[in-house]
Structure 1
Amino acid sequence: MSSAPYLCPKCGTNRSRFNVIEQIPQSVRLDMHTGEIIEYISQSDPIQVQYHGDRYRVQCGVCGLIETEEMFLRFAESHPLST
Structure 2
Amino acid sequence: MKPYLCPNCKTNRSRFNRIKQVATSIKLDPRSGEVISECNPDQLAVYHVDYRGPEYKVQCGACGSIEDERAFLSYAENNPMA
- TM-score normalised according to structure 2 size: 0.87
Partner of 2:4: 6
| 1:27-65 residue CA offsets vs partner (Å, 9 max, x unmatched) | 101111111111112312232211111111111111111
Find the aligned partners of 1:21 and 1:42 in 2 and give their Cα distance: 21
Q: Is residue 19 of structure 2 the alignment partner of residue 58 of structure 1?
A: no
Partner of 2:20: 22
Name structure 2 gaps, 5 residues minimum.
Answer: none
Equivalences, count: 80
Partner of 1:46: 45
Find the aligned partners of 1:13 and 1:25 in 2 and give their Cα distance: 31
| Percent identity over paired residues | 49
Q: Which 10-residue stretch deviates more, 44-53 or 24-33?
A: 44-53
Deviation at 1:5, TM superposition (A): 0.8
Q: Which 10-residue stretch deviates more, 20-29 or 67-76?
A: 67-76
Find the aligned partners of 1:7 and 1:16 in 2 and give their Cα distance: 8
- Write the letter of the residue equivalent to 1:28: I
Partner of 1:36: 34
Find the aligned partners of 2:40 and 2:72 in 1 and give their Cα distance: 33
Deviation at 1:14, TM superposition (A): 0.5
Find the aligned partners of 1:5 and 1:41 in 2 and give their Cα distance: 36
After the TM superposition, list the runs of 4 or more consecutive aligned residues in structure 1 that deviate by more than 6 angstroms: none
SS, match of residue 29 in structure 1: strand
